[in-house]
Amino acid sequence: MSIGRQRNGSGNGPFAAGLAVAALGPIVVASLLVLVRDQTVSANTALVLVVVVVVAAALGNRWTALTAAVVAAISFDFFLTRPYGSLKIDNADDIITATLLLAVGLIVGEVVVWARRGHRQSRRGRDEIERLHRVAEQVAAGHSAGDVLESVRDELTQLLSLRTCDFEQPPFGVPLPRLERNGSIDTPHRRFARGEFTLPEEGVEIPVLGRGRQLGRLVLVPEPDVGVSIEERVVAIAISDQLGAALAATATPGGEVSPR
């Protein structure tokens, strides 16, 4: 039996917005501050530009923060320091302010990026628990093995960013690297993408176990260049165990299962 599922990739809208704010935001804000530059000390106008850097970092990543900090420093120099309309600075205090603007912008941008990463990891952890809970609830409620299989396929496809997720009964087809119960994969060909290792391009198998026997395997083919954390892989094993429990209830004395 072989069942596949597709998943579309996410867009780059937030990053594009962050890049636009980083490249254009400081210029626009600094040009508006020209209207009050004679009534405001340079340190205050610099702080306004720091806000733009924070917004760019929140929408994008550390590269948008870096871009925003550099553009903000240049914009401050060009629009808000004497001689105006030039990258020269006559006042030593303005030189210090421009340097601090660049440094503070970089630091604040990095802090925002780390905060967003922590929030994303926390949310991802909650999502993983919810995925496992949904499947476990189906098994506990006595849903059919076919319904559990459909849910497992869907949850794993989203959890691991899979191109396809197939269930096979023995005898199996092509041998594949195995996703072990501790989340490791014994293969020499791994790539690093977005902070995590990717699954093997040719696919990986998860043995589906029930009552001490292997009842089948899940064949997972990933989307390219998508990193999968060790925590996500361990949750995938736990989800497959729920499928094993559901299939074990349908197994015949000879070991045949009926995921219907």
Confidence of residue 10 (pLDDT cuts 50, 70, 90): very low
- pLDDT at residue 124, rounded to an integer: 83
Query: CB 125: neighbour CB atoms within 10 A?
Result: 14
Residue 6 binned pLDDT confidence (cut-offs 50, 70, 90): very low
pLDDT tens digits, one per residue of 149-181? 999 999 999 999 999 999 999 889 899 999 999
Which residues, including other chains, have CB under 8 Å from residue 158's CB and lie 6 or more apart? 7, 131
pLDDT at 258: 64
* Cβ proximity of 5 and 154 under 8 Å: yes
Vertex 140 angle, CA 139 and 142, to 5°: 65
How are beta strands 196-197 and 192-193 bridged, if at all?
A: antiparallel
* Residues 53 and 74 sit within 8 Å (Cβ to Cβ): no
End-to-end CA distance of the chain: 11
The CA distance from 156 to 131, in Å, is: 9
Whole-angstrom distance, CA of residue 60 vs CA of residue 209: 42
Residue 7 pLDDT > 50? no
Residue 9 has what pLDDT? 40
How confident is residue 144, by pLDDT bands cut at 50, 70 and 90? very high
The whole-number pLDDT of residue 1 equals 41
Q: Check whether 241 has a pLDDT greater than 70.
A: yes
Amino acid (1-letter code) at residue 240: S
161: helix, strand or coil: coil
What would the pLDDT profile of 40-78 be if each residue is shown by its tens digit?
A: 888 889 889 989 988 888 888 788 888 999 999 999 999
Token pair of 37 as six digits: 């530059």
Q: What is the pLDDT of residues 12-47, one digit of tens each?
A: 667 788 889 999 999 999 999 999 988 888 888 988
Contact (Cβ atoms closer than 8 angstroms) between residue 21 and residue 64: yes
pTM of the model as a whole:
0.64
Task: Please choose, from the candidates 53, 31, 43, the residue with its C-alpha nearest in 3D space to the C-alpha of residue 95.
Answer: 43
Question: pLDDT at residue 2 above 70?
Answer: no
Can you tell me the mean pLDDT for 243-254? 80
CA atoms within a 13 Å half-sphere pointing along the CA-CB vector of 109: 28
Give residue limits of the domains in the chain.
13-118, 142-248
Q: Who's near 53: CB < 8 A, 6+ residues apart?
A: 22, 26, 65, 68, 69, 72, 105, 108, 109
**Model pLDDT, residue 120:** 78
DSSP 7-18: -PPP--HHHHHH
Tokens of 108: 């604040």
CA-atom Rg of the chain in angstroms: 27
φ, ψ for residue 170, nearest 5 deg? -65, 150
For residue 64, what are the CA distances in angstroms to 20, 27, 102? 9, 15, 13
High-pLDDT (> 70) share of the chain, %: 91
Q: Which has more pLDDT, 258 or 177?
A: 177
Q: Tell me the C-alpha distance between 5 and 158, whole Å.
A: 10
- Higher-confidence residue: 168 or 110? 168
pLDDT tier at 257, thresholds 50, 70, 90: low
